[in-house]
Structure 1
Amino acid sequence: MMPDDPLSQLRDIHLPQTGGFWPPAPGWWILAFALLIAIAVLAWLVRRHYRRNRWLRLARAELASLERTASKESQWFTQLNTLLKRSARERYPEEHPEALSGEQWAACLLRHLPDDQVSHQFIVKALVNSPWQQEPTAEPDQALAFARTWLEAQKC
């Protein structure tokens, strides 16, 4: 090789270095932003659902407590009616169910059942009238079954 050969002084071809992972391309920024918004909306919806149904969880817990102390006494039926009225007030505040009694309260309970209301009519009337009777006509197990059915029908 000749020392004054200009071609011998040339270096080999070098490829450009690949770009690093940072900063990401604009598409990745948009995707990350959309993902953060989706996570925030999902968290908000879950929290909203959880808070909306808080009354239902509390009512189920109180119903379980009433189930353990079930008896055919008018005071027990008063407690069950109170639980149902509080639940109805939470779910249907515009109807003011806490002010209803007798036939109106029974009609309110039946109105908010999605299934066949006729099959529940007898137990609802007995449940509504039992707090005012010396010897209640309703059976506690039937009243509890109805209350459980009614509460489950009220989910948001």
Structure 2
Amino acid sequence: MPEIKTPPAAAPAPWLNAPPIDPQAAPSTEPPADPLAELRDIHLPPEVSFWPPAPGWWIVAGLVVLALLGLAYLEWRRRQTLSYRAVKALEAIGQDHARYPDSRAVAAEAAVLIRRVVLSRPGRAEVAALTGEAWQGYLAKGKAGVPADIRAFLAKAPYLPPQAPASANVDRTALVASLRRWIKANA
């Protein structure tokens, strides 16, 4: 008959071989080992870099650039207006003491400028023919109307001879200031 093989005996469990606990033995005075002492320190993430910025900052930068471009366009459009150009021409006339030495010369050149401004507006056919009192009445209209003494001087200044005594009665800066107000309101 054939022999039957039996499996080897299993090794006894290690806790079975442990010494028995003596309830009367003195307790250990050593504190139990600190389990936290065995932990490693926290691993901190790297610092956030300055560049490249987050997508939100790119959007803000783009909006700022668009706003600046929009403001530049609006300024460019403002400088293309008749009012801006006429005021700049009037200021150049007022500051050029070599070509326009007295108020008569300033008023004569400003009268031409005012006529050009008026002729560039709608209804120019009616206004182009105005002279004398009718022209002075037209300059008096509106909240930025030209004062009476400056209107009268402006109407006759192109026809006065150089160094006319009437030009001493009108202040050059008051003339330019009142015409600047009129241009800004009417151009």
Settle same-fold status: TM greater than 0.5: yes
TM-score scaled to structure 1, two decimals? 0.61
**1:32 shift after superposition:** 0.9
Stretches of structure 1 lacking an aligned partner (at least 5 in a row) = 1-10
**1:146 shift after superposition:** 5.0
Q: Output aligned runs, 1:30-45, within 5 Å.
A: 30-45=59-74
Match among 96, 101, 120 for residue 131 of structure 2: 101
Q: Output aligned runs, 1:7-156, within 5 Å.
A: 14-52=43-81, 53-65=84-96, 68-70=100-102, 78-89=108-119, 93-96=121-124, 97-112=127-142, 114=144, 120-131=147-158, 138-142=166-170, 144-145=172-173, 147-153=175-181, 154-155=183-184
User: Could you tell me which residue of structure 2 aligns to residue 8 of structure 1?
Assistant: none
CA distance in 2, matches of 1:138, 1:125: 11
**1:35 shift after superposition:** 0.9
Tell me, yes or no, if the aligned pair for 2:132 and 2:155 is still in contact at 8 Å.
yes
**1:28 shift after superposition:** 0.9
Which one-letter code corresponds to 2:132 in the other structure?
G
CA distance in 2, matches of 1:68, 1:105: 23
Which one-letter code corresponds to 1:82 in the other structure?
V
CA distance in 2, matches of 1:148, 1:82: 13
Larger Rg: 2
Distance change >3 Å, CA 80–CA 103, structure 1 → 2: same
**1:148 shift after superposition:** 0.9
> Between Structure 1 and Structure 2, which shows a larger proportion of helix residues?
1
Greater shift after overlay, 39-48 or 14-23? 14-23
Tell me, yes or no, if the aligned pair for 2:86 and 2:113 is still in contact at 8 Å.
no
SS in 1 for 2:111: helix
Tell me, yes or no, if the aligned pair for 1:86 and 1:98 is still in contact at 8 Å.
no
Distance change >3 Å, CA 34–CA 87, structure 1 → 2: same
Task: Provide runs of 4+ in structure 1 moved above 6 Å.
Answer: none
Instruction: Output the aligned Cα RMSD.
Output: 3.8
Stretches of structure 2 lacking an aligned partner (at least 5 in a row) = 1-39
SS in 2 for 1:114: coil
Q: How many residues were matched structurally?
A: 140
**1:107 shift after superposition:** 1.8
CA distance in 1, matches of 2:77, 2:167: 37
Distance change >3 Å, CA 99–CA 22, structure 1 → 2: farther
CA distance in 2, matches of 1:132, 1:29: 64
TM-score scaled to structure 2, two decimals? 0.53
